[in-house]
Amino acid sequence: MLKITNTGHMLGSGVVNLEITENGKLTRIAYTGDIGRPENRILRSPEPFPQCDYLITESTYGDRLHPKLQIAEDELLRVVKETCVERGGKVIIPSFAIGRTQEIVHVLNNYFNEGVLPKINIYVDSPLAVNATEIFRIHPECFNKEVMHVMETDPDPFGFSSLHYIKLAEDSKKLNELKNPCIIISASGMMEAGRIKHHLANNISNPKNTILAVGYCAPPTLGARILRGDKEVSIYGVLHEVRAKIERIEAFSGHADADEMMDFISCQDKTQLKKVFLVHGEIEAQTAYREKLLKAGFGNIEIPSIGNEFEL
């Protein structure tokens, strides 16, 4: 038997709950996939999932805690005002096309409605993000109460007059010619592929601009090199001096932090859990999260390596 329960990470994300009967023996397996935050800006909160014998769960932020959501929103507005109003520059936001982009757009939409967003143009330059936003629009049943409340007076929480969605490549190239302050949101979030690399190449050497990271960047990626403070980075084989201001807002992450992940899996009866597998995380985060779970009473926790096999 298969059952999917909501994890609140992105539209349609869920825990895979499997019940397998073999030779009269019932085995229950749950795989969380990515776990969302309990206070999501758009989606309903993660929900408890059925009891399992074997739990496979993510550990991305197993060694850290996120700031509160409002802090991230305040920081976003600060970065926009400092960059676009005070320095007359551009804010370049590398963002995952599904989930993160819609959250940022929704926050900017709310600031626009409140009249506090500077009078600048915002561009979402990603065909995938544009298409994903359309899917969000047709699934309001997945939205939380706060977004439904906004929609009572604003029927489109992902659109306002200064927001422009870009799909065509020629329209994307025209953004390189812009001289006025603006915000460009483009994929990919780790800055490794997609149109964001062109925007970085055109903007990273201008000290008026800000590169604003809003999510996780794996160690080998261009995003990680920029965030660690490299003075030069190679983009499409060309070295670019990093003179733009580099900022990071971790609270925009769609992944739950260590406490939030542990709260999510606390619906499980520890005495019935035979084994917990920690996946999807760097070894430092996994090790820290394993210690946290052990202190909370979880036992038999495995951090598997590539190629490991386990018989359940």
* In a shared domain, residues 59 and 111: no
What number is the average pLDDT over the span 64-91? Answer: 94
Q: Helices (DSSP H) in 139-246: which residue ranges?
A: 145-150, 169-174, 196-203, 222-227
Q: Is residue 311 part of a domain?
A: no
Q: In terms of domains, do 248 and 258 share one?
A: no
* Number of domains forming the structure of the chain: 2
Query: What pLDDT shows up at residue 254?
Result: 84
Residue ending a domain, among 252, 268, 292, is 252
Last residue of a domain, one of 252, 277, 293: 252
Does the pLDDT value for residue 43 go beyond 90? yes
What does the alpha-carbon distance between residue 123 and residue 173 come to, in Å, rounded to a whole number? 12
pLDDT 10s digits, 237-272: 999 999 999 999 988 888 999 999 999 999 999 999
pLDDT of res. 185: 98
- β partners of residue 43: 143
Whether 260 is in a domain gets the answer: yes
108 pLDDT tier (thresholds 50, 70, 90): very high
Task: For residues 97 and 201, state if they share a domain.
Answer: yes
Backbone angles phi, psi at 56, to 5 degrees: -110, 120
Strands 25-31 and 54-58: parallel
| Rounded Cα distance, 309 and 103, in Å | 38
